[in-house]
């Protein structure tokens, strides 16, 4: 893949996801990728990722601090957050 055809996004995890997966990671994806593409890539990273981020689980996603669904296209430099439906402050 040509580097000009890729984007880098910052992935952050919160609450129980943070405890299990770490606070954050940087991911490179093809330009034009969606939040769903990112989630699929994360699901393939490890059995722990696959368990905690499975599509059947209640996991919320935000793109640049705005709630988003898996069809949302990721811009270069985006911040994506994954968190359970109820997160304490």
Q: How far apart are CA 6 and CA 33, in angstroms?
A: 9
Q: What residues form DSSP beta bridges with 63?
A: 66, 80
Three state DSSP letters for 18-86: HHHHCCEEEEEEECCCEHHHHHHHHHCCCHHHHHHCCCCCCCEEEECCEECCCCCECCCCCEEEEECCC
CB 53 within 8 A of CB 33: no
Looking at residue 68, which CATH number applies to its domain? Answer: 3.10.20.30
Q: Is residue 66 domain-resident?
A: yes
Q: Is residue 89 domain-resident?
A: no
Q: What pTM, to 2 d.p., does this model score?
A: 0.88
Q: Is residue 71 domain-resident?
A: yes
Q: Is residue 88 domain-resident?
A: no
pLDDT by 10s per residue, the chain, length 89: 566 799 999 999 999 899 999 999 999 999 999 999 999 999 999 999 999 999 889 899 999 999 999 999 999 999 999 998 875 55
Q: Which domain holds residue 30?
A: 3-83
Q: Is residue 7 domain-resident?
A: yes
Domains in the chain: how many in total?
A: 1
């Amino acid at each position: 893949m040509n580097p000009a055809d890729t984007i880098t996004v910052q992935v952050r995890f919160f609450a129980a996801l943070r405890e299990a997966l770490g606070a954050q990671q940087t991911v490179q994806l093809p330009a034009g990728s969606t939040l769903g593409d990112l989630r699929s890539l994360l699901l393939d990273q490890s059995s722990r990722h696959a368990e905690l981020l499975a599509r059947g689980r209640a996991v919320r996603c935000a793109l640049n601090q705005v709630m988003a669904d898996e069809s949302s296209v990721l811009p270069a430099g985006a911040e994506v957050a994954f968190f359970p439906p109820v997160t304490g402050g």
